[in-house]
Homo-oligomer: A and B are copies of this chain.
Amino acid sequence: MTAGRVAERREAKVASIVDAAWKLAAEHGIAGISLYALARAVGMRQPSLYEYFDSKHALYDAMFADGNRQLFERIEAVSFPRDPRAAVKKYMRTFLDFALEDPARCELLFERHVPGFTPSPESYALAEEILGRAGTLLHEAGVTSQGDIDCVVAMVGGLMAAQLSNDPGGNRWSRHLNRLVDLYLDDVITRSNGR
Contact = CB atoms under 8 A, between A and B. Distances in A.
Interface residues of A, number: 29
Interface of A is mostly: helix
Interface string A151-186: 101111111011001000000110110001001100
A9 interface: no
A37 to B, nearest CB: 15
Interface of A: 29, 31-32, 111-113, 115-116, 147, 150-151, 153-159, 161-162, 165, 172-173, 175-176, 180, 183-184, 187
Contact of A154 (B31, B116, B155): B155
Contact of A173 (B29, B150, B156): B150
Contact of A112 (B165, B173, B175): B165
